[in-house]
Structure 1
Amino acid sequence: MDNSLKHFFSSLRDHIGNIVNLNEHIDTEKASQYIRSNIEFKGPNAYILAFAIVIASVGLNTNSIPVIIGAMLVSPLMGPIFGIGYGLGTNDTSFIKTAFKNLLVMVVISILASSIYFLVSPLELENPTELLARTNPTIYDVLIALFGGFAGIIEISRKDKGTVISGVAIATALMPPLCTAGFGLASGSLKYFVGALYLFSINSIFIAIATFLTVKYLKFPMATFTDPARKKRVSRWVAALTVIIIIPSVYSAVIMIRENNFSHTAKEFISENKELTRSYIYDYDIYSHSKPPKLELYIAGEALRQEEISAIYRSAHKYGLTDDQIIITQRAATDQSEMTDRVAIQSIYERSDKEIQKREHIISSMEKELQAYKSKELPYEQITNELIAQYPSLSDVTLTRGYSISTDSLGRTEEIIIILKAGNRISQENMEKLRKWLTVRLDFENVKLLQQ
C-alpha cells in the first residue's frame, strides 16, 4: 500500500512538472528577435499610433467600451515596454536607452494627438465616467499590469504563438490613460493629466518588471561585452536601475493596498450607520491619500446630540477607525434652509429606500401566498358538470378542502371532501369507483367522498 501510494504521488509530481515546464515550449532566440524588432517606432507605426489614439479618444468621449477595446488592439505601445524589461534582464543598456526613447516619443505623440482631438471635438462630455476611471489607479491596476506582463512575455517567448498579446493589450489598457492625459492637457485639468500619467506609469513599470523577472527566469542570452570592466560597470548600472524602478513600485503597490482597504472599511462603516436616530448620512468623502486617511460624513436631519456623535465614534472603532479619522459635517442638519436640491433629493431617497424595500418584501410574500392559494383552488364547476354527466340524478354537489384532525396526537391531514346528494342512491361500489376517479382527476390522494 505504501509503495503504491509513493508511486502515485511520484507520478502526480512528474505529471504536474511536465505541465508547468516551459523549457520545451520556449524559444528565447526568436523571442529576442521579436522584441528587438518591435521597439522600432517609425514609418507606419507612427501613423497607426496616432490613429489608434484618436479612436480611443472617441471611445472615451462617448463612453463606448467596444471602441476603446478596438483602439487598444491597434496600438503598438506594448513593444518598447517589453523592450525595457528585456534590456534590464539581459544587461543591454543601449537597448534600454533605445526602447525608453521610443516609448517617450510614443507617449508625446499620443498625448498631442489626444489633446488635438479634444480641442476640436464637437462632442460634449456630460458624464465622462470612462475618463474618470483612468485617473485613479488602484491595486487592481497593479495586479493586471504585473500578470498581464507575465502573460505577454511568455507568449512572446513561446514557439507556437497565439492571441495572448491582444488580450494583454486590452487588459493592461495602456492607451486610455494617455488619451485621458491629452484631455487633461486640452481642458487645463491637472487632475486628469497627472492622474492619467500616473496610471500609465504604473501599468508600464509593472509590465516591464514582469518582463524583467521572466527574462531572468527563462535565462535569455545576456548582452556580450569584450571589456570585462565595462561588463561589470553595466551590470551595476542595470542592477541600480532595476532597484530604482522596483522599490518605488512596491512602495506604491503597498500604499494602494492600504488605500483600497481603508475605502472598503469606510464604505462598510457607512452602510452600517446610514440611518441615525433623527438624522442620516446623505453623502460622504473618503480622503484615502491623507495621513492618516480620513472619512468625512455629511449629516442631514436634526442636529446630532453629543451621545449620538459618541455612538458614531464607537461604531467606527469596531471597524478599526479612530476618532481623528472621522470628520462629521452637520451644515445640512443645523441649517435646513441652505440644503441644496441635490441634498433634498438624496434625503428623500435615503429615507424612503428602506421603507420601499420593506414594502417590496411584503408584496413578494403576499404574491407567493396568493400563488399557493390559487394552486389549491378546486375546479368546482367543471367537476360538478363531469359528475352530473356520469350520474344525471345528482341534485347537489359539495366540494371543499379541509383537514382531518387526530384526537390522539392532534396531527392533521389535508383532505378534499366531496358530498353528493342524488335522487337515486349511488351504490357503494360505484362510490369507490368515483373516489378513485376523483383522486386521479384532482391529482390528490386524500379524497373523501360522502353521500347524503
Structure 2
Amino acid sequence: MPENLFKEDNSSDEANSQEVKKDFQGLLGSVRKFMTELLEIRSNTDAATTKESIILDIPFKGHTSWILICSIFIASIGLNANSTAVVIGAMLISPLMGPILGMGLSLAINDVETLRKSLKNFLVMVVLSVVTAFLFFYTFPIQDESSELLARTKPDIRDVLIAFFGGLALVIARAKKGTIASVIFGVAIATALMPPLCTVGFGLAIGNWWYALGAMYLFIINTIFIALATFLVIKYLRFPMVRYANSRRRRRIARIASAIGLLVMLPAGYTFYMAFNESLFKKQAQEFLSETIEIYEFARNGRYLDNLTKIEYDYQNGSLVEIVCMGSEEIPENILNSWRRKKQDYSRLKDAEFSVVQGGKDDSEEKFNYVSELYEAKKAELLTREERIRFLEEEVVRLSENVGKQIPFQEVVAEAKEINQNLAGLSFAYQLQSDFNKMDTIPIFEAKWKGSLRKNEKVKQSENLLKWLKVRLKDSTIVLRQE
C-alpha cells in the first residue's frame, strides 16, 4: 500500500513538472512573439520609395545650394552670438544629410553610380559650407571664441555614439512606410553636422589651424558613423542589390563596394576605440582627483583651483594629469608621494605624468606668474568688511576735498578780465600728478595774453595773475601756464 502511494506521488510530481514546463515554454513563446512584433521593422519597410527618396536628396545644385548657404550663414551667426536656439534653427533647414545617406545606401546595395554621385556632392557640400563660413567670420568684425564654437573643436566618445545612433534612427525612419518627419528633424539637430563645418571656417578665418582640424575631425566622425549606420540598416532590411548585365562587372563592383565599406568601418572602429579609451582615462582621472586633492585640507592659505586642472589623453606621447594650487602653503612631499602611489591603483593612469603646480616649485615661470596674479586678484576680492568700509570712507573724504576745490570759473574769468585788460583768454582744468608715493589733483590755469605785449611784460603779469588767483581761490597749489 505505501509503495502504491509513493508511485502515485511520483507520477503526480512528474505531471505537475510537465505542466509547469509547458506553461513556461508558453510564456517564453508569448514573450518572443511580443518582442518580435515590437522590434520587427522589415515588414513595414518600403525599399523602393526609401531608395528613391535618398537618391533624390543627394544632388547639391540650384535651390539646395542656396538653402545650404543660407543655413551656414545662420549657423555661423548663432555660433558667433553663442545662441543655441539659432544654431538649432539652422540645422533644421540644412540639407547636409543627403550625400551621407547616399554613400551608406550605395555601399550596401553595390550601386557604384550612386556612390560616385554621393562622393562628388559630399565634396561640393563640404567646400561650399567651409567657404561660406570662412567668408562670414573673415569679414565679420566680431570674432569671439564662444563656447558654442569651442565645443566643436574636440570630439569625444559621446559624439561618436550620437552620430551612430542618430544615423540608425534616421535610416529606420526613412525606411518606414510613411516617413516619420519628426525623427528626421530630431536627428538633424542631434548629429549636428553643420556647426563643425562652421567652426572649420572660423578656425581658418582667425588662423587657428587646431580649431579647424579639430572641428573637421568631428565632422568626419559624424559622417563616417552616419554612413556606417545607414549601411548596416540597409543590409539588415535586405534592400535588393543592384543587378548588372555583365556578371564579371557585377562581381568586381561588389568587391569594390565591400572594400570601400571595410575602409569606412576600419577608421570608424579605430575612432570609437580611441574615443572610448580617452573617455575611460578621463573618468579614472576624475575619480583619482576626487580621492586626493579634492578632499585635501589646506592648513592655512592654500587653495586648489579645479578650473585649471588639466587632463590630457595622448596615446603616443604620454598622457598628463596636472593640478594647480595657489597660495604660499605647499603640499608636503610625503602627501604628494602618497598620491603618486595611489595613481598606480588606476589601470589607465599608471603611465600618465602627474604634475602639481604650486607657487615657485613649478619650473614654468609663466605658470607661476599666472597663479600668483590670480592669487592676488582673489585676495582683493576677499577683503574683509572693515577694509571695504575704510576704503569707501577714504573715497568719500577724497571726493569731498575735490568738491571743496571746485572753481567758480565764470566768476574768476570776469574778475580777471576787469583786473588785467591785457588778458586775451583764460582756460582751466584739473590735472592728476604723482611722485610715486602719493597722488594729487592740481588745478591748472592757462593764460593767453594779447600779441602786443612783450615777453618780459607777459612774465611779470603772469606772476601777478598767479598771486591773485591763489588769494582769490584760497588755494596755494594753483599753477598758471601761458601760451
**Class of the TM-score when normalised by the shorter of the 2 chains:** 0.7 to 0.9
C-alpha deviations, 1:357-407, integer Å up to 9, x for none? xxxxxxxxxxxxxxxxxxxxxxxxxxxxxxxxxxxxxxxxxxxxxxxxxxx
Structure ID, larger Rg: 2
> 2:359·2:372 contact (CA, 8 Å) conserved in 1?
no
The question of 1:137 aligning with 2:155 is answered yes
C-alpha deviations, 1:167-194, integer Å up to 9, x for none? 1100100000000001011111101110
Tell me what 1:330 maps to: 358
Structure 1 residue ranges without an equivalent (≥5): 351-452
Structure 2 residue ranges without an equivalent (≥5): 1-18, 383-483
Give 1:177's aligned amino acid: P
Residues 323, 212 of structure 1: alpha-carbon distance in 2 compared, 3 angstrom cutoff: closer
Q: Of the candidates 164, 177, 194, which is equivalent to residue 159 of structure 1?
A: 177
TM-score, length of structure 2 as denominator length: 0.68
Tell me what 2:45 maps to: 26
C-alpha deviations, 1:25-60, integer Å up to 9, x for none? 100010011111110111100000000000000110
Give 1:288's aligned amino acid: Y
> 2:321·2:354 contact (CA, 8 Å) conserved in 1?
yes
The question of 1:342 aligning with 2:367 is answered no
Tell me what 1:285 maps to: 310
Residues 229, 343 of structure 1: alpha-carbon distance in 2 compared, 3 angstrom cutoff: farther
Tell me what 2:322 maps to: 296
Tell me what 1:371 maps to: none
The question of 1:306 aligning with 2:333 is answered yes
Report the Cα distance in structure 1 between the residues aligned to 2:25 and 2:283, rounded to whole angstroms.
47
Report the Cα distance in structure 2 between the residues aligned to 1:80 and 1:349, rounded to whole angstroms.
55
The question of 1:202 aligning with 2:202 is answered no
Report the Cα distance in structure 2 between the residues aligned to 1:205 and 1:187, rounded to whole angstroms.
28
> 1:36·1:83 contact (CA, 8 Å) conserved in 2?
yes
The question of 1:235 aligning with 2:267 is answered no
User: Which segment is superposed worse, 208-217 or 315-324?
Assistant: 315-324
Report the Cα distance in structure 2 between the residues aligned to 1:133 and 1:37, rounded to whole angstroms.
33
1:224 Cα deviation (Å)? 1.3
Tell me what 2:55 maps to: 36
C-alpha deviations, 1:310-351, integer Å up to 9, x for none? 12212323334337521233345579777443344568999x
Q: How does 1:163-202 map to 2 (within 5 A)?
A: 163-202=182-221
Report the Cα distance in structure 1 between the residues aligned to 2:371 and 2:35, rounded to whole angstroms.
65
Give 1:285's aligned amino acid: K
RMSD: 2.3
Tell me what 1:428 maps to: none
Residues 343, 199 of structure 1: alpha-carbon distance in 2 compared, 3 angstrom cutoff: farther
C-alpha deviations, 1:135-179, integer Å up to 9, x for none? 111111111110111111111111021221111100100000000
Q: Give the secondary-structure state (helix, strand or coil) at the position aligned to 2:43.
A: helix
Residues 338, 77 of structure 1: alpha-carbon distance in 2 compared, 3 angstrom cutoff: closer
Residues 209, 323 of structure 1: alpha-carbon distance in 2 compared, 3 angstrom cutoff: closer
Residues 39, 255 of structure 1: alpha-carbon distance in 2 compared, 3 angstrom cutoff: same
Report the Cα distance in structure 2 between the residues aligned to 1:288 and 1:217, rounded to whole angstroms.
36
1:229 Cα deviation (Å)? 1.2
The question of 1:214 aligning with 2:233 is answered yes
**Number of aligned residue pairs:** 349
Give 1:178's aligned amino acid: L
Tell me what 2:102 maps to: 83
Tell me what 2:14 maps to: none
> 2:167·2:227 contact (CA, 8 Å) conserved in 1?
yes
Residues 35, 61 of structure 1: alpha-carbon distance in 2 compared, 3 angstrom cutoff: same
TM-score, length of structure 1 as denominator length: 0.73
Q: Give the secondary-structure state (helix, strand or coil) at the position aligned to 1:299.
A: strand
> 2:319·2:352 contact (CA, 8 Å) conserved in 1?
no
Report the Cα distance in structure 2 between the residues aligned to 1:39 and 1:255, rounded to whole angstroms.
31
> 1:332·1:339 contact (CA, 8 Å) conserved in 2?
no
Report the Cα distance in structure 2 between the residues aligned to 1:150 and 1:325, rounded to whole angstroms.
39
Tell me what 2:130 maps to: 111
C-alpha deviations, 1:412-442, integer Å up to 9, x for none? xxxxxxxxxxxxxxxxxxxxxxxxxxxxxxx
Tell me what 1:445 maps to: none
The question of 1:5 aligning with 2:24 is answered yes
C-alpha deviations, 1:198-242, integer Å up to 9, x for none? 000000000000000111111112111111111111111111111
Identity %: 38
Tell me what 2:346 maps to: 319
